Amino acid sequence: MDDKTRCKLRELIQNEVVLATGCTEPVAVALCVAKACETLGCEPEKVNLLLSKNVFKNAMGVGIPGTGMIGLPIAAAMAVVAGDSSRQLEVLNLEPQQVEQAKKWLANHAQDITIGVKEDGDKLHIECECSAGANKGKAIINRRHTNFVYVARNEEVLLCKDEECGCAQQQNTAATDDLQLTARMVYDYATTAPLEELEFILETVKYNDAAAEEGLKGYGLHTGKILMENANGDLVHTVVARTVAASDARMDGCTLSVYSNSGSGNQGICCTLPVYNYAKAKGCSQEQIIRALILNHLMSIYVKRGIGRLSALCGIVNASIGVTCGIVYLHGGTFEQMGFAIKNLINTIAGMLCDGAKPSCALKMSTGLYSAFVSAELAYHGHVVDATDGLSESDVDNSIRNLGILGHDGMDQVDDTVLDIMTHKH
């Protein structure tokens, strides 16, 4: 692999694996509110939000860090009172007194926040218009959780880099967007790149493991805590328990930041803790741990590219594919066996749908992880689903492509149905 490609792959991981506090959809909404408020230049009298259905769905029932509350109104209030858009996905990492100020603001201004759903356009779209008197500040995020494509104060356009804004379209691509990823490229980079170029990935362990430790105290459904109490020394059960405990904490409003992957904290947790804790228990070397983490994170990024940033397909699907690759690698498996594991897993959990971000996401994570271990075990014993089965083909990249088609195109109606059910509960 040439130096230029290696540099781009490293940059891709560093761009996609970043710190976030709280579920990234309400965080991104708060980020947009913060930017609109900053652009307005004063405390708003009204906050109007227009969100894609995927963002709306993922922000309805998830815990907001440090508040003991769920949903978008409190997230918006926190951005109004103490938002700082320069903090990106840590915009909701506030001091307790700031959280209390936000609760007081919301109590007095709940009727001044309006939230609507945008029916068309990108699946990750957030518009916020803050107003005070005759003045307005507007901001739009599109495609990525931190990607501002439009900012304006009244009629003065301060930023416009997207045709959806009604302006001339400008280049809106990252330097790594032209990378044509393949499973072989991901595997070769993770297993052959100079170790010193990969060591940065260990930073994810410190943060994500701290969230797991916190989660074992009991958050959400106590999924991790209960699984751990009943693990009885079983390695896989213990690894799964510790991992989902971090999701318990994060989705129930824990204030600890975690390293996310492809805009999702749960995906970042899933791409970090299983292979790390499994490798530690197996006595693997530091180099093996680093390379397994890189393989896990980068494979998940690759699969997620085809599915899309937000989808009706649960993000644990692509993250678990990363996990199964990491487990195969730690067992000394070959590239061919890694492909076996990917195809086994695609044919196991491809249909797992996203019904919004919420504390019970830990249950889906446990399902994905147990399936990842089973798929890997079959693979390093030389067993793989037939190419005639389901989404699988003989070529692993074609199998991944088929999963992407399902997640990106095939489940659009599922999104509409899920959102309709969630907004019309009796």
| CB atoms inside a 10 Å sphere around CB 229 | 11
- Which distant-in-sequence residues (6+ apart) come within 8 Å of 264 by Cβ? 24, 315, 319
pLDDT tens for each residue of 320-338: 999 999 999 999 999 999 9
Mean pLDDT of 243-259: 97
Structure tokens at 70: 């769920």
Residue 257 has pLDDT above 70, yes or no: yes
Contact 157, 174 (CB under 8 A): no
CA distance 392 to 406: 12
**DSSP string of 153-217?**
ETTEEEEE--GGGTS-------TTTT----HHHHHHHHHHS-GGGTGGGGHHHHHHHHHHHHHTT
The rounded mean pLDDT for the chain is 95
Residue 165 — pLDDT band, cuts 50, 70, 90?
Answer: low
- Among 224-238, 379-393, 404-418, name the one with the lowest average pLDDT: 404-418
Residue 61 has pLDDT above 90, yes or no: no
CA distance 139 to 149: 8
pLDDT of residue 171: 44
Contact 227, 237 (CB under 8 A): yes
Mean pLDDT of 77-83: 97
Residue 166 has pLDDT above 60, yes or no: no
Mean pLDDT of 224-252: 97
Residue 172 has pLDDT above 60, yes or no: no
Residue 170 has pLDDT above 50, yes or no: no
Residue 177 — pLDDT band, cuts 50, 70, 90?
Answer: confident
pLDDT of residue 164: 52
Share of the chain above pLDDT 90, in %: 89
CA distance 383 to 252: 39
Please indicate whether residue 376 or residue 161 has the higher confidence score (pLDDT).
376
Mean pLDDT of 152-170: 75
User: Rounded to two decimals, what is the model's pTM?
Assistant: 0.93
Mean pLDDT of 344-352: 96
Residue 285 has pLDDT above 80, yes or no: yes
pLDDT of residue 415: 84
Look at residues 48, 74, 46, 81 and name the one whose alpha carbon lies nearest to residue 60. Answer: 74
Provide the sign of the torsion angle of the four alpha carbons 395, 325, 307, 140, taken in this order.
Answer: negative
Residue 371 has pLDDT above 80, yes or no: yes
Look at residues 145, 107, 143, 139 and name the one whose alpha carbon lies nearest to residue 123. Answer: 143
